[in-house]
Amino acid sequence: MVTGRLSRRAAAFAAVLLLGTAGCGAGPTAATHAPADGGGGGGKVTVFAAASLTETFTALGRTFEAAHPGTKVTFNFGSSATLAQQITQGAPADVFAAASPATMKTVTDASLAATPATFARNKLQIAVPADNPAKVDELKDLADPRVKVALCAEQVPCGAAAVKALDAAGLKVTPVTLEQDVKATLTKVELGEVDAALVYRTDVIAAAGKVRGIAFPEADQAVNDYPIAVLTKAPAGDLARRFVALVRSWQGADVLAEAGFEAP
Amino acid sequence: MLVVPALAGLAFLVLPLAGLLVRAPWATLPRRLAEPHVLEALRLSLVTATVATAACLLLGVPLAWLLARTDFPGRRVVRALVTVPLVLPPVVGGVALLLVLGRRGLLGQWLESSFGVTLPFTTAGVVVAEAFVAMPFLVISVEGALRAADQRYEEAAATLGASRWTVFRRVTLPLIMPGVVAGAVLCWARALGEFGATITFAGNFPGTTRTMPLAVYLALETEPEAAIVLSLVLLAVSVVILASLRERWVSAP
């Protein structure tokens, strides 16, 4: 669909209208605030998070629900840039966790988020199919024209990081495809359609056994910071602050470290 | 009685387009249009959609004839299967194509080992993805036209000694031409707007597989204004082409 992305925004907008939770801070939204004594009490918190956080945040969401009986955490996972767009278009979100400071900046520039905090860092790895048909073992193998490489598009955080890392290594790589997000890039490797791709270390770990990850030194030149912020128009401001606190607590750090993220 | 819902339907279809027009950055429009990558994506879109439509005509018209004019066991099931790409989420369609025609796919492996042909990440792959998603539109339109056409003409031609092929070529096809054209137009429009199956099966690389919808998607990541411009270009081009085709063809005798 030509206007697929636009219609998704329209859908978000329609949802705003239908749910009556438009970020005007009035009306029924007040009911979703948890009482200040921390008793939960049936609130609902909506978290927009980067696709690479799918596994970790889903787990943290369950932890949060267990700690606050009666609350419900709903997630919208996707490309950070898309989520930033949806938020600036008025989607009813409480928390935004992005895969790059640049995408967070879109939201802070629109004065829709308070000061973001970096809660995790992620590094690139070379992902190859489990049987490694092209015998890739270091970054410069990707410059070989016989090796089919998938990269993320430069417009999304993993693509920007890939460009940085390849520049740091002084390599010229011509990919066969520039994918729209990191999960799509990984899928191409899992299916064996490409011989190698640059994805995050966490994605390699999440794809348990289906792909092999190869670390490379230039990845240190292109580390991605993940900022998180409570949105200024959050319908469930209090719960949102608590969710962010959980992500930044030792519990959150444990879950993130297990998935392969580094501490900020 | 009918006018109110009719107008509501029209507003529902036209208002989003008006939204695009209102939000379009008219001042920077000419500069953005002249960018080589825009023209490249547009050219690629027009070429692939047209080739895909030609492929759909070659395969789809005979398939529609089979469904409308012959009787074989399981025909209903076959008809239902033909419409599968319509209901399949496009990304799933792309994955399905990869599993069959990809490097490790059922047919793809054999294509590569015997002919050295790989479809993913090539312009041919874009055509395959578009044809897969758009062909049902053509088949359904043509089949409807065939069912509505008066079969006595074909019978008369057959009793006068014309072969099946001659009857099809000289009698059936001229009879159903408006239906074929309408189907081809729908098919072309659908192919032009194809996004999900294309990016999944053919990937996204400037000049080879980055069609207009893919360019729009990526522009949205960084510059929503540029995305609106690109969408408008695609819409304008398709509306002009479709309108001129209608004038020429669908006013059939």
Q: What is the DSSP string of B74-130?
A: THHHHHHHHTHHHHS-HHHHHHHHHHHHSTTSTTHHHHHHHH----TTSHHHHHHHH
d(CA A249, CA B49): 52
Q: Which residue of B has its CA nearest to A191?
A: B104
Q: Which of A5, A187, A192 has its CB closest to that of B103?
A: A192
Q: Nearest 5 degrees, angle CA A116-CA A120-CA A123?
A: 125
d(CA B53, CA B169): 20
Per-residue DSSP letter, B24: -
Average of pLDDT values for B4-10?
95
Q: Which of B103, B205, B227 has its CB closest to that of A177?
A: B205
Q: Which two tokens stand for residue B1?
A: 């009685």
Say if strands A117-122 and A149-152 run parallel, antiparallel, or are unpaired: unpaired
Tell me if A40 sits within 8 A of A71, measured CB to CB. yes
Who contacts A198 (Cβ-Cβ below 8 Å, separation ≥6)? Answer: A124, A125, A126, A127, A142, A149, A151, A152, A158, A161, A162, A165, A166, A185
* List of chain B residues whose C-beta atoms are within 8 Å of the C-beta of residue A192: 102-104
Interface of A with B (CB under 8 A): 1-7, 10, 79, 81-82, 85, 148, 150, 153, 155-156, 175-180, 184, 187-188, 191-193
Identify the H or E element spanning B157: helix B151-159
Predicted local distance difference test score (pLDDT) of residue B247? 67
Predicted local distance difference test score (pLDDT) of residue B37? 86
B224 touches chain A (CB under 8 A): yes
Minimal CA separation from B41 to chain A, in Å: 13
Minimal CA separation from B211 to chain A, in Å: 10
Model confidence at B249: pLDDT above 70 = no
Contact B203 A85 (CB under 8 A): no
Q: Nearest 5 degrees, angle CA B1-CA B7-CA B12?
A: 135
Model confidence at A14: pLDDT above 50 = no
Average of pLDDT values for B212-231?
86
- Quote the radius of gyration of chain A (alpha carbons, Å): 19
Neighbours of B5 (CB within 10 A): 9
* List of chain B residues whose C-beta atoms are within 8 Å of the C-beta of residue A148: 121
Average of pLDDT values for A203-225?
92
Q: Which residue of A has its CA nearest to B231?
A: A2
B98 touches chain A (CB under 8 A): yes
Who contacts B230 (Cβ-Cβ below 8 Å, separation ≥6)? Answer: B38, B41, B212, B215, B216, B219
DSSP H helices in chain A = 4-19, 54-67, 80-88, 101-109, 157-169, 182-190, 201-206, 237-248, 250-259
Q: Which two tokens stand for residue A222?
A: 């292109």
B130-172 pLDDT, tens digit each:
999 999 999 999 999 999 998 999 999 999 999 989 999 999 9
B225 touches chain A (CB under 8 A): no
d(CA A15, CA A189): 35
Contact B217 A79 (CB under 8 A): no
Answering whether pTM is above 0.75, one says yes
CA distances from A173 to A82, A132, A146, A170, B72 (A): 27, 18, 11, 10, 54
Q: Which of B16, B104, B205 has its CB closest to that of A178?
A: B205
Tell me if A125 sits within 8 A of A215, measured CB to CB. yes
> Which of A23-37, A91-105, B156-170, B238-252 is predicted least confidently?
A23-37
Select the highest-mean-pLDDT range: A7-16, A20-29, B145-154.
Answer: B145-154
Who contacts B236 (Cβ-Cβ below 8 Å, separation ≥6)? Answer: none
Contact A1 B227 (CB under 8 A): no
- In three-state secondary structure terms, A213 is strand
From the centroid of its chain, how far is CA B75? 24
**Dihedral angle at the C-alpha atoms of A208, A214, A217, A221, nearest 10 degrees?**
-50
d(CA B211, CA B215): 6
Cβ under 8 Å to A: B residues 122-181 = none
Predicted local distance difference test score (pLDDT) of residue B99? 92
* List of chain B residues whose C-beta atoms are within 8 Å of the C-beta of residue A187: 95
Q: Which two tokens stand for residue A196?
A: 């190698």
Minimal CA separation from A79 to chain B, in Å: 8
Q: Nearest 5 degrees, angle CA B171-CA B176-CA B234?
A: 140
Predicted local distance difference test score (pLDDT) of residue B250? 56
Neighbours of A192 (CB within 10 A): 20
Model confidence at A174: pLDDT above 90 = yes
The residue among B13, B20, B88, B217 with the most chain A CBs within 10 A of its CB, best to mutate, is B217
The residue among B201, B216, B221 with the most chain A CBs within 10 A of its CB, best to mutate, is B221
Q: Which of A4, A176, A188 has its CB closest to that of B217?
A: A4
Who contacts A24 (Cβ-Cβ below 8 Å, separation ≥6)? Answer: A233
Q: pLDDT band at residue B236, thresholds of 50, 70 and 90?
A: confident
Owner of token pair 């025909």:
B75
Q: pLDDT band at residue A180, thresholds of 50, 70 and 90?
A: confident
Who contacts B4 (Cβ-Cβ below 8 Å, separation ≥6)? Answer: none
B16-55 pLDDT, tens digit each:
888 888 888 888 888 888 888 888 999 999 999 999 999 9
d(CA A60, CA A47): 11
**Dihedral angle at the C-alpha atoms of A186, A189, A195, A200, nearest 10 degrees?**
30
Owner of token pair 């066991």:
B73
Percent of chain B with pLDDT over 90: 60
Percent of chain A with pLDDT over 70: 84
Angle between the N-to-C axes of helices B108-115 and B90-101, in degrees from 0 to 180, rounded to the nearest 10:
40
B209-220 pLDDT, tens digit each:
999 999 998 888
B43 touches chain A (CB under 8 A): no
Contact B102 A191 (CB under 8 A): yes
* List of chain B residues whose C-beta atoms are within 8 Å of the C-beta of residue A7: 16
CA distances from B24 to A82, A106, A125 (A): 19, 20, 40
Q: Which two tokens stand for residue A99?
A: 């895969």
Model confidence at A31: pLDDT above 90 = no
Q: pLDDT band at residue A34, thresholds of 50, 70 and 90?
A: very low
Who contacts B17 (Cβ-Cβ below 8 Å, separation ≥6)? Answer: B235
Percent of chain A with pLDDT over 90: 68
User: Domains in chain A, start-ordered, CATH in brackets?
Assistant: 2-121+224-258 (3.40.190.10), 124-221 (3.40.190.10)
Contact B204 A6 (CB under 8 A): no
Q: In what order do the strands lie in the sheet with A177-179?
A: A177-179, A149-152, A196-200, A124-129, A211-214
Identify the H or E element spanning A73: strand A72-78
Tell me if A153 sits within 8 A of B204, measured CB to CB. yes
